[in-house]
């Protein structure tokens, strides 16, 4: 007889209560009287820092944080040290991840991006079976991956189209960033970051990426969109029927430039925090389906690193365990429906990245209210920009590959 987890009396989005069964290695019963069943989340954008940044995060700590947040699939970025831009490095990275997950007994599902590097574009076709996409940094960020010359971009988009590889772009225009850096050279406060990497920096790169996708017939995924202008360009591309997809990140939905006065260099992220009106544009784009997915851009750095002066402090926020609570809290406030949360965090990423289906679920308590506390976070970085925020709606159990994990 096959063994099962029975989730009793669980609420579903349709509104009814039922028993839900999941194949398992053991028989178990969960009394889910006050819980809601959702498909486990996919996070299409994480930085788990292996290899080279293990002091910031490992796959053991990253997977623990993900599972605690109801996430059972993560797609990991290639800006490692060394950058993951060849098949050899990709295979070595997979070996490291497998060993870490096995030792931690946390068999999270994952996919990897290959990093675009003009010297290694011939690695794309050879790596295509091992990757979920090619990641192009059109502007510089953490790590040394940067590819912004037109001929390499043309070549990469063309090879990707030919090999049916999705191209994910960090769309910030490097030349404009450098120009603005000179313009604001007399400022050393963290808030200047949002002026140097202003909305025009993002729009210029998105414009070019869409042009390249159109020219070569490439599937394009634009990570962490954060401005009204980018979204207008993407909305237009979708209208034209181009295979262009957009991601938004929690920090651009839930935080804004007001955070600099409180967190200074800790508030640095690329693309930077925006003015509140840009978040309004993101919410509109979520509701008209211009935005396809939410990717956390979980990018842990230690507090010591984050507290360094402007120019030295790295950009990025840990956030994966708050991905679902932030969205459930927005749902409690009437900003988004549960159906839309499922589409953004599960259905659309599964479709866009062509991930195999699975029966992982998360059981959430929509009424639980808790304040975000750095000390209880599982990320190795042990901090988040959401510290002190009271959120309503938290995961209770995550079920991954037929195993129950307490959140």
Known catalytic residue: 360?
A: no
Report the partner that residue 295 touches, choosing among Zn ion, ligand DOR, none (CB closer than 5 to 8 A by kind): none
Q: Binding to ligand DOR by residue 270, rule CB under 6 A?
A: yes
269 belongs to the binding site for ligand DOR (CB under 6 A): yes
85 binds ligand DOR per the rule CB under 6 A: no
Is residue 114 a contact point for ligand DOR (CB under 6 A)? no
- The least CB distance from residue 255 to ligand DOR, in Å, is 12
Q: Is 296 in the site for ligand DOR (CB under 6 A)?
A: no
Paired sense of beta strands 36-39 and 361-371, if any:
antiparallel
Complex with ligand DOR: residue 36 or 299, whichever CB lies closer: 299
Half-sphere exposure of 41 (CA within 13 A, CB side): 34
Size of the chain, expressed as the number of residues it contains:
407
Residue partners of 100: CB distance under 8 A and separation at least 6 = 50, 58, 59, 60
142 binds ligand DOR (CB under 6 A): yes
Site string for Zn ion, 247-286 (x = CB under 5 A): ----------------------------------------
Q: Per CB under 5 A, does 297 bind Zn ion?
A: yes
Q: Which stretch binds ligand DOR (CB under 6 A): 95-103, 201-209, 312-320, 385-393?
A: 312-320
Query: Closest approach of Cβ 315 to ligand DOR, in Å?
Result: 3
Residues in binding contact with ligand DOR, number by CB under 6 A? 11
Q: How far is the CB of 254 from Zn ion (least distance, A)?
A: 17
User: Residues with Cβ < 8 Å from 400, sequence gap 6 or more?
Assistant: 40, 67, 72, 107, 108, 109, 360
Q: Which of 72, 73, 79, 226 binds ligand DOR (CB under 6 A)?
A: 79
Q: Which 3-state string (H, E, C) describes the chain?
A: CCCEEEEEEEECCCCCEEEEEEECCCCEEEECCCCEEEECEEEEEECCCCCCCCCCCCHHHHHHHHHHCCEEEEEECCCCCCCCCCHHHHHHHHHHHHHHHHHHCCCCEEEEEEECCHHHCCHHHHHHHHCCEEEEECCCCCCCCCCCCHHHHHHHHHHHHHCCCCEEEECCCHHHHHHHHHHCCCCCCHHHHHHHCCHHHHHHHHHHHHHHHHHHCCCEEEEEECCHHHHHHHHHHHHCCCCEEEEECHHHHHCCHHHHHHHHHHHCCCCCCCCHHHHHHHHHHHHCCCCCEECCCECCCCHHHHCCCCCCCCCCECCHHHHHHHHHHHHHCCCCCHHHHHHHHHHHHHHHCCCCCCCCEEEEEEEEEEECCHHHCCCCCCCCCCCCCEEEEEEEEEEECCEEEEC
Q: For ligand DOR, which residue of 20, 45, 47, 193 counts as binding (CB under 6 A)?
A: 47
CB under 6 A: which stretch of 228-236, 313-321, 323-331, 351-359 binds ligand DOR? 313-321
Q: Which stretch binds ligand DOR (CB under 6 A): 201-209, 309-317, 346-354, 381-389?
A: 309-317
End-to-end alpha carbon distance in the chain: 29
Shortest CB 318 distance to Zn ion, Å: 12
Closest CB to ligand DOR among 10 and 282? Answer: 282
Question: Which residue lies nearer to Zn ion by CB, 131 or 400?
Answer: 131
> What does 142 bind: Zn ion, ligand DOR, none (CB cut-off 5 to 8 Å by kind)?
ligand DOR
Q: Which is nearer to ligand DOR, 97 or 269 (CB)?
A: 269
Which among 297, 359, 360, 365 is annotated as catalytic? 297
Q: Does 148 bind ligand DOR (CB under 6 A)?
A: no
Q: Using CB under 6 A, which residues numbered 315 to 334 contact ligand DOR? A: 315-316
Please, what is the minimum distance in Å from the beta carbon of residue 208 to ligand DOR? 17
229 binds Zn ion (CB under 5 A): no
Q: Which residues bind Zn ion (CB under 5 A)?
A: 297
Q: Which residues bind ligand DOR (CB under 6 A)?
A: 47, 79, 141-142, 170, 269-270, 299, 314-316
Which positions are annotated as active-site residues? Answer: 297
């Amino acid at each position: 007889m096959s063994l099962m987890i029975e989730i009793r009396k669980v609420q579903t989005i349709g509104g009814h209560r039922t028993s839900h069964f999941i194949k398992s290695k053991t028989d178990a019963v969960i009394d889910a009287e006050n819980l809601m069943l959702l498909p486990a989340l996919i996070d299409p954008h994480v930085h788990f820092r292996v290899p080279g940044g293990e002091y910031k995060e490992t796959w053991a700590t990253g997977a623990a944080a993900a599972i605690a947040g109801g996430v059972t699939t993560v797609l990991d970025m290639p800006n490692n040290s060394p950058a993951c831009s060849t098949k050899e490095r990709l295979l070595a990275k997979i070996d490291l991840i497998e060993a870490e997950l096995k030792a931690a007994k946390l068999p999270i599902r994952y996919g990897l991006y290959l990093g675009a590097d003009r010297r290694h574009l011939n690695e794309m076709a050879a790596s295509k079976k091992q990757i979920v996409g090619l990641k192009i940094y059109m502007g510089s960020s953490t790590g040394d991956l940067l590819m912004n010359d037109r001929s390499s971009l043309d070549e990469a988009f063309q090879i990707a189209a030919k090999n049916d590889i999705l191209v994910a772009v960090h769309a910030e225009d490097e030349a404009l960033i450098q120009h603005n850096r000179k313009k604001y050279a007399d400022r050393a406060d963290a808030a200047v970051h949002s002026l140097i990497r202003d909305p025009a920096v993002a729009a210029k790169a998105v414009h070019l990426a869409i042009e390249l996708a159109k020219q070569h017939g490439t599937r394009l995924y634009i990570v962490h969109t954060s401005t009204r202008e980018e979204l207008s360009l993407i909305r237009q591309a979708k209208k034209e029927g181009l295979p262009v997809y957009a991601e938004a990140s929690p920090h651009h939905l839930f935080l804004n430039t007001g955070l600099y006065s409180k967190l200074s260099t800790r508030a640095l992220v690329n693309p930077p925090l925006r003015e509140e009106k840009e978040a309004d544009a993101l919410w509109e784009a979520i509701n008209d389906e211009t935005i396809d997915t939410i990717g956390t851009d979980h990018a842990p750095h230690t507090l010591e690193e984050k507290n360094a002066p402007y120019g030295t402090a790295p950009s990025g926020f840990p956030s994966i365990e708050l991905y679902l609570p932030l969205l459930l809290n927005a749902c409690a406030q009437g900003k988004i429906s549960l159906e839309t949360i499922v589409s953004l965090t599960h259905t659309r990423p599964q479709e866009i990245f062509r991930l195999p289906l699975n029966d992982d679920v998360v059981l959430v308590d929509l009424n639980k209210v808790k304040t975000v506390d750095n000390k209880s976070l599982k990320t190795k970085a042990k901090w988040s920009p959401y510290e002190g925020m009271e959120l309503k709606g938290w995961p209770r159990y995550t079920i991954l590959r037929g195993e129950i994990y307490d959140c």
